Copies of this chain bind each other. A is one copy, B any other.
Amino acid sequence: MYTCNLERMEDKIKTFSKFGDAGHGGITRYSLSPEAHQARAEFVKRMTAIGAVIETDDMANMYATLPGSVPNLKRIVMASHVDSVKNGGNYDGILGVLTAMEVLETITELNIPHSHPITAMIWTNEEGSLYSPAMMSSGVICGKFDKSKMLASKSILDPASTFGQALDASPYKGEEKNRLNPNDYMAMFETHIEQGPILEAAKKDIGVVTCVLGMVNYRIKAYGQADHAGTTPMSYRQDALYAAAQLLIYLHQELDKLDPALVYTTGEIKCHPNVHTVIPDEVDFSLDARHENPEVIKQVVDIIKNIPKEISKCKTGYELAWARDTVYFDKELVSCVKESADELGISNQYINSGAGHDAQFVSYMLPTTMIFVPSKDGHSHCEPEYTSPEQCTAGASVMLNAVLKADQK
């Protein structure tokens, strides 16, 4: 078994956390921003130093490849992203890139034999925080999103500027022929922070990810009548926010009766006209529900479809915003990860991913899997996001050995 280098890993984490440093321990590093380009330049510098060949594709995805010992074999790729949400942390996305770099650096340093070419990759715009949607480039390359629509995606900071303009201005825009594809690549691994509290609570250093949870996202609605707060007797009112609050609690109570592994969130609420002196006439809130088992998701949908049609004189409604099925990762690759962690003596457990990742789209095209490392207090997408250097290095060691196992198959 091979292990990665703690000091080198720590140095990378520290170095990359400067690119977009927002001054409070975290970063803001939007895709294709000057800060993201600094991170990409550092990637090129370090990968060139170990003799990797750099390529870029038409979505500015970047590939650094070490050749294998056997000619004409497909590549194994380890990929993640360098962009962040606004005021994000130093681990979400970037850790997967640093881990991929660490694997290549260790292979070079220890001169580890491998038959297949091995590639470290940066996906462009996974977060979608400046240009929506999230997972934009993997969506384009795996045929889920229309590229021309993506190029027209507007900056949330300046609606006059588009993702396409940022791409044209990037020194990392390359050729379509360099895209990740099933003819040239045999498998993809992605290391990521868990973004939840499960591994920490279970005192495990590695999550062997088996799937990305299926989900549904609904808008739940209540319709009332806007009237003056001071002049409308209580008995005349049709208060849509009062009705929506009852509906929200009803849904929590009903959903709590389902499988305890179900996660659901009522995270966004819109109230019209949302003025303290006016009785609300229209309220809608989001309901996001995720579970591995489609039967449980069906139970969620049944509960939504059976909400009371009227609450406190307000009509109710619902609308499906979107849904996705559970995406299972490649069984052989999952085994490679499990065996590596076990053989290295690193504590681990199977886990699923509640969040979406580029690996989810890639799994439709290539055998794919993911490795999770713990998130302190379960936090992510925020400045306190943290995983210890030891845990990050353990993640890299597991990925290194899992890639080498895949290389042998």
Chain A interfacial positions (CB closer than 8 Å to B) = 194-198, 213, 215, 217, 226-236, 239, 241-242, 244-246, 248-249, 252, 256, 260-269, 271, 274-280, 285-286, 288, 290, 321, 353-356, 378-382
Contact = CB atoms under 8 A, between A and B. Distances in A.
A260 B234 contact: yes
Nearest to A236: B197
Contacts of A248: 241-242, 245
A236 B378 contact: yes
A123 B11 CA distance: 69
Interface centre among A262, A269, A278 (most CB of B within 10 A): A269
A355 B265 contact: no
A263 B232 contact: yes
Given A267-B279, A269-B274, 15 more contacts: A227-B379, A230-B353, A231-B378, A231-B380, A232-B263, A234-B262, A235-B260, A242-B248, A242-B266, A249-B249, A265-B276, A267-B274, A267-B280, A269-B271, A278-B381
A196 B228 contact: yes
Contacts of A249: 242, 245-246, 249
A230 B248 CA distance: 18
Contact of A256 (B234, B262, B378): B234
Contacts of A382: 226
Contacts of A263: 229-234
B354 A230 contact: yes
Listed from nearest, the 3 A-B pairs whose CB atoms lie closest are A230-B354, A196-B231, A229-B265
A154 B242 CA distance: 33
Question: How many chain copies does the complex carry?
Answer: 2
A402 to B, nearest CB: 22
Interface centre among A195, A217, A267, A288 (most CB of B within 10 A): A267
B267 A275 contact: yes
Contacts of A269: 241, 269, 271, 274
B354 A217 contact: no
7 contacts: A197-B233, A227-B378, A228-B354, A229-B290, A230-B290, A241-B267, A265-B277
Given A228-B380, A260-B234, A275 B266 contact: no
A279 B265 CA distance: 6
Contacts of A246: 245, 249
A276 B280 contact: no
Contacts of A353: 230-231
Contacts of A260: 234-235
Nearest to A252: B242
A382 B261 CA distance: 47
A215 B194 CA distance: 49
A261 to B, nearest CB: 8
Contacts of A242: 248-249, 252, 266
Given A241-B267, A249-B245, A268-B271, A232 B378 contact: yes
A276 B271 contact: no
A311 to B, nearest CB: 11
